[in-house]
Amino acid sequence: MREEEKIKAGILFNPGDPELKAMKLRAHNLNMDYNQTYEDETEKRAAILAELIGELGEGSFIQGPIAFHYGKHTRIGRNFFGNFNLTIQDDAEVWIGDYCSFGPNATIVTPIHPMLPDERLELRTAEGDKKRLCYAKPVRIGSSCWFGASVTVCSGVTIGDNCVIGAGSVVTRDIPPDSFAAGVPCRVIRKLTEADSMKYKPEILADNQVIEG
């Protein structure tokens, strides 16, 4: 079994495998290419992202700088907005739905390392070799989610549609749809309802209007 297949199977893999290292080097170089562009070099940026990311939906914009570990393991829906310093360590697959907005310094991580120091240093493979091994779990984020600044989503987490995750949160467990969640570790504060509409904040809404229906 190839090391990339082991990642998808959720079992220990060798991140130092030559094939995986080549994938990561390619992605890291494309990150660097993107991060050296100007914001108005839209065609150049689009071409780099098309090479880097497994899927990026129409109408999406990523401010940069960016840091994708593999890139090809990430799929992002339509009308995504990623602010400064978006980091996605996509050893395992990462899915992000449509109309999501991430504040600056948003981070998604999928790999997990052994807890014990000796095992973190090396384990014995099926072939009898001693190697540094880890494993990874996929992350799934629904549509129409908003992440405040410096949100970190940990491996194996699923976040439902229409969620708001407060700034600085570390999400270590699943968050159900339509939730406002925050904290370290992140927990559900309350369900989002119609009472959260801007129409109930006239002092902020000013002379703007909520679009009904």
Bridge-partner residues for 76, per DSSP? 56, 96
165, 187 contact by CB (below 8 A): no
Q: How many CB atoms lie within 10 A of CB 72?
A: 18
Which residues are within 8 A (CB) of 97 and not within 5 positions of it... i.e. 6 or more apart?
A: 77, 141, 142, 143, 144, 145, 161
Ramachandran class of 150: left when φ > 0, alpha when ψ lies in -120 to 50, beta otherwise: left
Catalytic residue among 28, 69, 73, 113: 113
**Helix crossing, 42-52 with 18-35: angle to 10°?**
170
CA diameter of the chain:
71
> Rounded distance, CA 109 to CA 91, Å?
8
28 has catalytic annotation = no
Which residues are known catalytic residues? Answer: 113
